[in-house]
């Protein structure tokens, strides 16, 4: 009885199996014959009806039969898979790949990191200072006399009468000149504060990078050379530039550096206020009063210093017309960088 | 400062285009910020003659005019609706392409461009204008009819005499000498190696009366007022200024008022000397007394504002009362009016510090105070006063009383500063000769006498240059006149080695890790409102003069501003927020500070990480779910591992903060580094976020400090065996405790314990859970036998079941 069933199944399988050519048919076969409720499983049901002494014999028979069908099934499956890899089959490879989420660095960080990398390659170290600063470091040591109109250039937030939120990163110059041995060649990035109404063009805080080089025999010509090298690396080797005399209490002589507007190439546009030039940094020779305030003899050493605004440069660099968007942190903005 | 180019040319002959002059000024440090050709708004407008006027065939109120605007060209046909148009008139014609400054038919009066238009079927080639349309008058009732002798074809700007150019110059605070047309002419003359000329004018002096019989001046505070001069002009007729004066003032951005006031403003912009005209008849006892204000005194200034004085302000008084705030603003009680007949003219030198303090305290900034604060020339006073007095006389038909009262007890003399030629070249990196340097300095009126040798100059600095105080300031003058662009760009300075230090590299590594793992970097405000700040503790640092109450306190944590960012993004439709920020947080110090900071304050550089909303990007292959605490905990652990802190991190679970729940503390090498937690709902409610937000904040100094180069440890040559065990325990037993016990009881041969399954269910019994661990077992000495491993597992099982009252589920 059971013998007959086994041989019937065997011939049925021998008929079907060689004709199977795809995964669907294979799966159909698996369900019909090999699944828990399949035809082979039903043989074990029939085993119940077999007299007790013959059970082990038939059990063994069914097992052997099942094993052989499974082996045939697996080898067919393997051969189908290997042929499907070479044939065009049913996987839609236009499905999107499993991507990793993309993070972003803030555009201001990106500008700053670019600046840092150029200065580091030019031999500058990187140092930081406090954002809560005293009047001495923020103003007095930097040659801002009390009641001098130059203080008006920097609207100040006061924490106490003599404690301010630093209005520039320049006080870090005083700290390093006082605390570190010469020669000194460092840049000083950080956040600074001005008590100004927030608008598209100005924010009450922004980011600056100051630079300082103090050594024997540092000259104005060295300063110009350094700034040109930086500007050509940062803005591109084809830019035009100019230096203008300017005024900062802590440097003398002082200068401002303009580069040709990279939007209009110097023809004049809204961004450069129709002058064709963009102001990109201020600089000068460290004022002898400042050197003296920091314990150095201006007859023996000299130095240059410079400073630039990271946010303003980022506006120009990325073609952004409202500074506030930097600090809104809208993902539709951040994900563009 | 805004200057008029025509005005400037009264003092210097310039053989260059305006653009070239502007460039020269900029290279001198007088940056030209804009050039405005004032006549340009009239481009395309000409004087025309109406030849013929006919009725419009299709409109009763319109005429067809034939208008000649060029002697050589055909007349234009223009459709005109003005009632007063007539043949033979000289009129102002706007041609096609010209921009009409004011559209009479537009409520806002916006400009519009003239085009060839068809009006009721007839083509019109321009427009005859009213004075209102051109902004040269108020009459809009009809077209402007010009004088009969107006020449046809004359450009309107030329006809109106508007051919001036205004230059906006950014004058730095150190250059008060350039806050005048003569001052700028002086610098230009030096740059062009030419001369400038001071104004030549007629004198209207009445030699028969001396000022001493008419007025007295008494300066009681000579510290704040080192010099005070007064002169008197009689028989003035106060009226409108002549056209030339109004045009120059307008071009320089000053509104003409009347001939007397305009004359004082003119001379201020000419010489840089602010002047004030009093109505002589309104000065009690015809006296001027210069003294400090009375404490609590009330004073009404020219602009009608009432000021309460502190007693420190320098006041100009008459015999009875205050009549002006010295150097800042005159008073309403003595101002020039239409009935003024005699003028007392003040020209003084006030101390910069005193004027600045007063102007700041009273919140007034005027053209006068601006100049006094920066420091005018104390020795120009008399010259400017005489010039102004005679100009007033000329414009008003008056006469200047002879004599001038000049109270100047301590004459301010030129500073003498030594300059070493070698020092100039050492600072600038130049090779200028002594002769070149001398020429540069003399060109800006610095007197040079040779010192001990030919390489040392004694320089006498004119009093109009208060900014030149020491040798370096003279060196700047040399650099400026030599030209910054003529100084070499030297790149040969000694090479110095530099590489980013440990701290800098770690920060970069952290940023890179975060970016690579899908986090967006944000930069948020440093200032927040004080009530929120106080939620973080009491050591809050606030600013005394905040922009608003929302921006009053320095943030003690990155949390509140990052939450604002989360709220903003939810409000704009974002649903997956994974953010980080690196920034400074602040608190008032209770203990002694670290060095390098201001005593009493602590600043920390922190990283904040915020997760909220969906965990995955939307995709076809992953089921979406929202983030939970284990996402953030795992992220922080991965970050710390990623930056090389894998062996030194300790997590503990009793960290409590007032802002987060489920809070987990993080320690690195036994130093507290920060926390991970779920933001409390109260806090989220404040910023209207209705999603869970998970937040971690770690101290970057701790994260960067413990990085160390790794030491290699040999690994076992023998195979690792993996065994799984699972227990049923009370829910209150923590997985961490079980893990620790497994490691302890299994000994060092347990190389890893990983939880791989966790579930609860009815079948396990109330309050119970099943935990399954995968153990990796390995020995450095030998291949372990099954029997040995069985012994080890038995020990572990016994220990766990006993300690935690657990049941073994399977081994
Ligand atoms: Zn441009």
What's the CATH number of domain B44-154, 2.40.50.140, 3.40.50.10470, 2.40.160.40, 1.10.10.60? 2.40.50.140
Residues 557-596 of B with CB under 8 A from A: 565, 568-569, 572, 574, 577-579, 583-584, 586, 596
Residues from chain A that touch B515, judged by Cβ atoms under 8 A, are: 103-105
Q: Do B2-40+163-192 and B415-483 agree at the fold level?
A: yes
* pLDDT level of residue B619 (50, 70, 90 thresholds): confident
Locate the domains of chain B by residue range: 2-40+163-192, 44-154, 205-407, 415-483, 502-705, 721-810
Look at residue A264 in the predicted model and tell me its pLDDT.
86
Residues from chain B that touch A100, judged by Cβ atoms under 8 A, are: 518
Cα B598 to Cα A181, A304, B418, distances in angstroms:
21, 26, 39
Look at residue A16 in the predicted model and tell me its pLDDT.
82
Range B721-810 has CATH code 3.30.70.380: yes
Mean pLDDT of the residues in chain B: 92
CATH T-level assignment (fold) for domain B205-407: Phenylalanyl-tRNA Synthetase; Chain B, domain 3 (3.50.40)
* pLDDT level of residue A21 (50, 70, 90 thresholds): confident
CA proximity to B665, closest of B682, B650, B686, B681: B650
CATH number of B415-483: 3.30.56.10
CA proximity to B560, closest of B550, B547, B574: B550
Q: Using H for helix, E for strand and C for coil, what is the string for B408-475? A: CCCCCCCEEEEEEHHHHHHHHCCCCCHHHHHHHHHHCCCEEEECCCCCEEEEEECCCCCCCCCHHHHH
CB A246 to CB B31 under 8 A?
A: yes
Q: Give dist(CA A192, CA B526) in Å, integer.
A: 10
Look at residue B485 in the predicted model and tell me its pLDDT.
93
Residues 35-74 of A with CB under 8 A from B: none
CB B527 to CB A205 under 8 A?
A: yes
* pLDDT level of residue B573 (50, 70, 90 thresholds): very high
Of A22 and B252, more confident: B252
- Three-state secondary-structure class, residue B117: strand
CA distance A333 to chain B (A): 11
User: Could you tell me the distance, in angstroms and rounded to a whole number, from the CA of residue A67 to the centre of ligand 1?
Assistant: 82
User: A134 CB near a chain B CB, below 8 Å?
Assistant: yes
Look at residue A85 in the predicted model and tell me its pLDDT.
58
Instruction: Say if CB B706 and CB B645 are below 8 A apart.
Output: yes
- Three-state secondary-structure class, residue B676: strand
At B316, give phi and psi (nearest 5°). -95, 125
The pairing of strands A251-260 and A277-286 is: antiparallel
At B250, give phi and psi (nearest 5°). -60, -45
Instruction: Say if CB B309 and CB B298 are below 8 A apart.
Output: yes
Which one of A100, A147, A217 has the shortest CB-CB distance to B353? A147
Q: Give dist(CA B92, CA B155) in Å, integer.
A: 9
With 60 as the cut, is the pLDDT of residue B249 above it?
Answer: yes
CB A245 to CB B479 under 8 A?
A: yes
* pLDDT level of residue A267 (50, 70, 90 thresholds): confident
- Rounded average pLDDT over A220-238: 94
Which one of A101, A219, A244 has the shortest CB-CB distance to B429? A219
With 70 as the cut, is the pLDDT of residue B658 above it?
Answer: yes
Look at residue B594 in the predicted model and tell me its pLDDT.
61
CATH number of A107-334: 3.30.930.10
Ranges A19-33, A79-93, B394-408, most confident = B394-408
Q: Give dist(CA B114, CA B97) in Å, integer.
A: 5
Burial class (CB in 10 A: 0-12, 13-18, 19+), B407: middle
With 90 as the cut, is the pLDDT of residue B41 above it?
Answer: no
* pLDDT level of residue B593 (50, 70, 90 thresholds): low
Q: Using H for helix, E for strand and C for coil, what is the string for A129-166? A: CCCEEEHHHHCHHHCCCCCCHHHHHCCCCEEECCEEEC
Residues 314-373 of B with CB under 8 A from A: 352-353, 356-357, 373
User: Could you tell me the distance, in angstroms and rounded to a whole number, from the CA of residue B36 to the centre of ligand 1?
Assistant: 17
CB B584 to CB A191 under 8 A?
A: yes
CB B428 to CB A220 under 8 A?
A: yes
Of B354 and A15, more confident: B354
Check whether the bond before A253 is cis (ω within 30° of 0): yes
Of A316 and B346, more confident: B346
The pairing of strands A205-215 and A302-309 is: antiparallel
CB B428 to CB A219 under 8 A?
A: yes
Residue B195, Ramachandran bin (φ over 0: left; ψ between -120 and 50: alpha; else beta): beta
Element (H, E) at B149: none
User: A91 CB near a chain B CB, below 8 Å?
Assistant: no
- Predicted TM-score (pTM) of the model is 0.82
Q: Give dist(CA B475, CA A63) in Å, integer.
A: 105
What is the widest separation between alpha-carbon atoms in chain A? 118
* pLDDT level of residue B495 (50, 70, 90 thresholds): low
CATH T-level assignment (fold) for domain B2-40+163-192: Phenylalanyl-tRNA Synthetase; Chain B, domain 1 (3.30.56)
- Rounded average pLDDT over A217-227: 95
pLDDT digits over B430-446, tens only? 999 999 999 999 999 99
Nearest-by-CA chain B residue for A247: B172
With 70 as the cut, is the pLDDT of residue B691 above it?
Answer: yes
Region of poorest pLDDT, from A213-222, B523-532, B582-591: B582-591
Q: Give dist(CA B591, CA B587) in Å, integer.
A: 11
User: Could you tell me the distance, in angstroms and rounded to a whole number, from the CA of residue B569 to the centre of ligand 1?
Assistant: 34
At B348, give phi and psi (nearest 5°). -140, 170
Q: What does the DSSP assignment read for B234-252?
A: ES----PPPHHHHHHHHHT
Instruction: Say if CB B427 and CB A302 are below 8 A apart.
Output: yes
Among residues of chain B, what percentage have pLDDT more than 90? 77
CA distance A145 to chain B (A): 10
Nearest-by-CA chain B residue for A268: B34
Which one of B26, B475, B622 has the shortest CB-CB distance to A244? B26
Look at residue B579 in the predicted model and tell me its pLDDT.
97
With 70 as the cut, is the pLDDT of residue A87 above it?
Answer: no
User: B623 CB near a chain A CB, below 8 Å?
Assistant: no
- Rounded average pLDDT over B338-348: 96
Q: Crossing angle, helix A39-47 and helix A2-16, to 10 degrees?
A: 170
Nearest-by-CA chain A residue for B586: A132
Look at residue B465 in the predicted model and tell me its pLDDT.
97
Cα B39 to Cα B134, B145, B207, B639, B705, distances in angstroms:
12, 20, 44, 65, 66
Cβ count near B787 (within 10 Å)? 8
Residues from chain B that touch A153, judged by Cβ atoms under 8 A, are: 173
Cα B154 to Cα B38, B48, B243, B695, distances in angstroms:
17, 8, 19, 74
Nearest-by-CA chain B residue for A206: B525
Q: Give dist(CA B299, CA B332) in Å, integer.
A: 9
With 70 as the cut, is the pLDDT of residue B752 above it?
Answer: yes
Q: Give dist(CA A191, CA A174) in Å, integer.
A: 17
Q: Give dist(CA B516, CA A103) in Å, integer.
A: 6
User: A162 CB near a chain B CB, below 8 Å?
Assistant: no
User: A175 CB near a chain B CB, below 8 Å?
Assistant: yes
* pLDDT level of residue A275 (50, 70, 90 thresholds): confident
Element (H, E) at B538: none
Instruction: Say if CB B701 and CB B682 are below 8 A apart.
Output: no
pLDDT digits over A94-137, tens only? 888 888 888 999 999 999 999 999 999 999 999 999 999 999 99
A30: which DSSP letter? I
Q: Give dist(CA B648, CA B668) in Å, integer.
A: 5
Q: Which residues contact B124 (CB under 8 A, 6 or more apart)?
A: B77, B78, B79, B116, B117, B118
Region of poorest pLDDT, from A47-56, A176-185, A283-292: A47-56
Look at residue B590 in the predicted model and tell me its pLDDT.
67
> Around B110, how many Cα atoms within 13 Å sit in the side-chain half-sphere?
5
Residues 237-276 of A with CB under 8 A from B: 242-247, 252-256, 273-275
Which one of B472, B494, B501 has the shortest CB-CB distance to A287? B472
Residues 489-508 of B with CB under 8 A from A: 489-501, 504, 508
Look at residue A75 in the predicted model and tell me its pLDDT.
85
Q: What does the DSSP assignment read for B382-406?
A: HHHHHHHHHHHHHHHT-EEEE--EE
Residues from chain A that touch B569, judged by Cβ atoms under 8 A, are: 329-331
pLDDT digits over B442-487, tens only? 999 999 998 778 889 999 999 999 999 999 999 999 999 999 999 9
* pLDDT level of residue B766 (50, 70, 90 thresholds): confident
CB B429 to CB A222 under 8 A?
A: yes
CA proximity to B279, closest of B366, B208, B338: B338
- Three-state secondary-structure class, residue A269: coil
Instruction: Say if CB B598 and CB B548 are below 8 A apart.
Output: no
With 90 as the cut, is the pLDDT of residue A301 above it?
Answer: yes
Instruction: Say if CB A252 and CB A284 are below 8 A apart.
Output: yes
ipTM of the complex in this document:
0.84
Cα B723 to Cα B63, B81, B267, B786, distances in angstroms:
107, 103, 99, 11
Q: Give dist(CA B113, CA B94) in Å, integer.
A: 10
Which one of A120, A165, A329 has the shortest CB-CB distance to B522? A329
| Per-chain residues with Cβ under 5 A from ion ligand 1 | A 261, 263-264, 269, 271-272
Locate the domains of chain A by residue range: 2-86, 107-334
Look at residue B496 in the predicted model and tell me its pLDDT.
64
Joined together, the tokens standing for residue A227 give 């700034």
With 60 as the cut, is the pLDDT of residue A88 above it?
Answer: no
The strand pairing partners of B317, in sequence order, are B289, B322
* pLDDT level of residue B492 (50, 70, 90 thresholds): low
Nearest-by-CA chain B residue for A124: B498
User: Could you tell me the distance, in angstroms and rounded to a whole number, from the CA of residue B611 to the centre of ligand 1?
Assistant: 41
Look at residue B810 in the predicted model and tell me its pLDDT.
81
Which one of B496, B500, B603 has the shortest CB-CB distance to A185? B496
Range B502-705 has CATH code 3.30.930.10: yes
Among residues of chain A, what percentage have pLDDT more than 70? 96
Q: Using H for helix, E for strand and C for coil, what is the string for B155-213? A: EHHHHHCCCCEEEEEECCCCCHHHCCHHHHHHHHHHHHCCCCCCCCCCCCEEEEEEHHH
At B796, give phi and psi (nearest 5°). -65, -50
CB B508 to CB A113 under 8 A?
A: yes
Q: Give dist(CA B599, CA A314) in Å, integer.
A: 34
Look at residue B128 in the predicted model and tell me its pLDDT.
93
Residues 202-221 of A with CB under 8 A from B: 204-205, 213, 215, 217-221
CA distance A224 to chain B (A): 5
Look at residue A262 in the predicted model and tell me its pLDDT.
80
With 90 as the cut, is the pLDDT of residue B712 above it?
Answer: no
Rounded to the nearest 10°, the torsion over CA B97, B98, B101, B104 is -70
Which one of A103, A126, A133 has the shortest CB-CB distance to B598? A133
DSSP E strands, B702-797: 721-730, 750-760, 768-777
Look at residue B407 in the predicted model and tell me its pLDDT.
96
Joined together, the tokens standing for residue B733 give 């037993």
Question: Please, which contacts does B291-294 make with residues 24 or more away whose CB atoms are closer than 8 Å?
Answer: B291/B220, B291/B221, B291/B315, B291/B317, B292/B220, B292/B221, B292/B224, B293/B322
Residues from chain A that touch B499, judged by Cβ atoms under 8 A, are: 120
Cα B63 to Cα B84, B120, B124, distances in angstroms:
11, 11, 11
- Three-state secondary-structure class, residue B118: strand
What is the widest separation between alpha-carbon atoms in chain B? 133
> Around B636, how many Cα atoms within 13 Å sit in the side-chain half-sphere?
31
Of B263 and A74, more confident: B263
């Amino acid at each position: 009885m059971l013998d007959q069933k086994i041989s019937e199944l065997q011939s049925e399988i021998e008929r079907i199996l060689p004709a199977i050519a795809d995964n669907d048919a294979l799966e159909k076969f698996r369900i019909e014959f090999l699944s828990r409720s399949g035809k082979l499983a039903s043989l074990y049901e029939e085993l119940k009806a077999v007299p007790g002494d013959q059970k082990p014999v038939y059990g063994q028979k069914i097992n052997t039969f099942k094993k052989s069908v499974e082996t045939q099934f697996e080898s067919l499956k393997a051969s189908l898979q290997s042929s499907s890899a070479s044939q065009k089959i049913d996987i839609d490879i236009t499905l999107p790949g499993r991507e990793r989420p993309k993070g972003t660095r803030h555009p201001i960080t990106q500008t700053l990191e670019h600046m840092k990398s150029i200065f580091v390659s030019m031999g500058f170290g990187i140092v930081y200072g406090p954002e809560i600063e005293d009047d001495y470091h923020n103003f007095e040591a930097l040659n801002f006399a009390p009641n001098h109109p130059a203080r008006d250039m920097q609207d100040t937030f006061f924490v106490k009468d003599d404690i301010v939120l630093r209005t520039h990163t320049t006080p870090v110059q005083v700290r390093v000149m006082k605390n570190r041995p010469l020669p000194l060649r460092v840049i000083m990035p950080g956040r600074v504060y001005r008590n100004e109404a927030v608008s598209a063009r100005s924010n009450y805080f922004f980011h600056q990078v100051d630079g300082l080089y103090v050594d024997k025999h540092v000259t104005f010509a060295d300063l110009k050379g350094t700034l040109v090298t930086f500007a050509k690396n940062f803005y591109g080797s084809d830019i035009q530039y100019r230096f203008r005399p300017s005024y900062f209490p802590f440097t003398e002589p002082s200068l401002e550096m303009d580069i040709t507007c990279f939007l209009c190439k110097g023809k004049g546009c809204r961004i450069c206020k129709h002058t064709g030039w963009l102001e990109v940094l201020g600089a000068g020779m460290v004022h002898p009063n400042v050197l003296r305030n920091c314990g150095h003899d201006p007859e023996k050493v000299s130095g240059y210093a410079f400073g630039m605004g990271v946010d303003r440069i980022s506006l120009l660099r990325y073609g952004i017309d409202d500074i506030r968007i930097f600090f809104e942190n809208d993902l539709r903005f951040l994900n563009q960088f | 400062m805004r200057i008029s180019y025509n005005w400037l040319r009264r003092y210097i002959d310039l053989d260059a285009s305006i653009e070239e002059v502007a460039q020269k000024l900029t290279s001198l440090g007088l940056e030209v910020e804009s050039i405005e050709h004032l006549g340009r708004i009239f481009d395309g407008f000409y004087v025309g003659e109406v030849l013929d006027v006919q009725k419009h065939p299709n409109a009763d109120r319109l005429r067809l005019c034939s208008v000649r605007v060029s002697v050589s060209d055909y007349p234009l046909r223009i459709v005109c609706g003005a009632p007063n148009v007539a043949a033979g008139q000289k009129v102002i014609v706007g041609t096609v392409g010209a921009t009409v400054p004011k559209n009479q038919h537009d409520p806002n009066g916006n400009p519009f461009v003239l085009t060839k238009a068809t009006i009721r079927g007839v083509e019109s080639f321009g427009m005859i204008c009213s004075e209102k349309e051109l902004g040269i008058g108020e009459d809009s009732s009809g077209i402007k009819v010009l004088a009969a002798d107006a020449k046809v074809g004359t450009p309107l700007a030329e006809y109106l005499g508007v051919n001036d150019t205004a230059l906006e110059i950014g004058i730095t605070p150190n250059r008060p000498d350039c806050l005048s047309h003569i001052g700028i002419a002086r610098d230009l003359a030096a740059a062009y190696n030419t001369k400038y000329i001071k104004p030549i004018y007629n004198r209207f002096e009445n030699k028969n009366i001396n000022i001493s019989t008419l007025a007295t001046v008494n300066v009681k505070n000579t510290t704040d007022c080192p010099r005070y001069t007064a002169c008197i002009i009689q028989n003035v007729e106060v009226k409108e200024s002549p056209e030339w004066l109004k045009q120059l003032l307008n071009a320089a951005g000053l509104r003409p008022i009347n001939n007397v006031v305009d004359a004082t403003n003119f001379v201020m912009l000419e010489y840089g000397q602010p002047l004030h005209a009093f109505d002589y008849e309104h000065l009690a006892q015809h006296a001027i007394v210069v003294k400090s204000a009375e404490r609590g005194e009330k004073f009404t200034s020219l602009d009608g504002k009432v000021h309460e004085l502190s007693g420190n302000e320098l006041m100009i008084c008459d015999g009875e009362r205050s009549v002006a705030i010295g150097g800042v603003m005159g008073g309403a009680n003595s101002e020039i009016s239409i009935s003024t007949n005699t003028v007392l003219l003040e020209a003084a030198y006030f101390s910069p510090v005193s004027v600045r303090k007063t102007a700041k305290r009273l919140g007034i900034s005027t053209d006068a105070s601006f100049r006094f604060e920066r420091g005018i020339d104390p020795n120009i006073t008399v010259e400017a006063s005489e010039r102004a007095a005679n100009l007033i006389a000329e414009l008003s038909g008056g006469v200047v009383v002879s004599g001038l009262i000049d109270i100047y007890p301590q004459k301010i003399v030129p500073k003498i500063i030594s300059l070493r030629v070698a020092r100039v070249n050492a600072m600038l990196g130049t090779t200028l000769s002594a002769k070149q340097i001398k020429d540069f300095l003399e060109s800006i009126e610095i007197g040079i006498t040779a010192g001990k040798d030919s390489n040392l100059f004694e320089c006498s600095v004119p009093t109009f240059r208060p900014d030149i105080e020491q040798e370096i300031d003279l060196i700047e003058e040399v650099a400026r006149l030599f030209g910054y662009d003529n100084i070499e760009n030297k790149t040969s300075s000694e090479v110095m080695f530099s590489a980013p230090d440990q701290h800098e590299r770690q920060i970069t590594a952290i940023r890179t890790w975060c970016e690579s793992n899908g986090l967006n970097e944000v930069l948020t405000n440093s200032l927040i409102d004080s009530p929120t700040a106080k939620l973080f503790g009491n050591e809050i640092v606030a600013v005394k003069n905040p922009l608003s109450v929302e921006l009053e306190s320095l943030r003690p944590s990155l949390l509140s501003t990052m939450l604002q960012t989360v709220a903003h993004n939810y409000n704009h439709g974002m649903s997956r927020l994974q953010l980080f920020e690196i920034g400074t947080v602040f608190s008032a110090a209770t203990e002694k500070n670290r060095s390098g900071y201001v005593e009493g304050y602590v600043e920390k550089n922190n990283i904040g990480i915020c997760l909220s909303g969906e965990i995955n990007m939307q995709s076809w292959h992953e089921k979406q779910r929202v983030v939970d605490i284990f996402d953030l905990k795992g992220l922080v652990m991965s970050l710390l591992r990623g930056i090389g802190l894998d062996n030194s991190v300790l997590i503990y679970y009793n960290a409590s903060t007032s802002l987060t729940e489920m809070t987990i503390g993080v320690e690195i090498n036994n130093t507290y580094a920060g926390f991970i937690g779920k933001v409390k709902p109260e806090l989220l409610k404040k910023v209207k976020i209705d999603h869970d937000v998970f937040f971690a904040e770690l101290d970057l100094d701790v994260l960067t400090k413990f990085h160390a180069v790794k030491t290699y440890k040999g690994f076992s040559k023998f195979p690792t065996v993996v065994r799984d065990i699972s227990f049923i325990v009370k829910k209150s037993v923590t997985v961490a405790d079980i893990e620790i016990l497994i490691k302890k009881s299994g000994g060092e041969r347990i190389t890893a314990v990983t939880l791989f399954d966790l579930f609860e269910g009815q079948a396990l019994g109330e309050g119970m859970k099943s935990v399954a661990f995968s153990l990796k077992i390995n020995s450095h000495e030998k291949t372990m036998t099954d029997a040995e491993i069985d012994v080890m597992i038995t020990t572990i099982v016994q220990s766990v079941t006993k300690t935690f009252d657990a049941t073994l589920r399977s081994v």
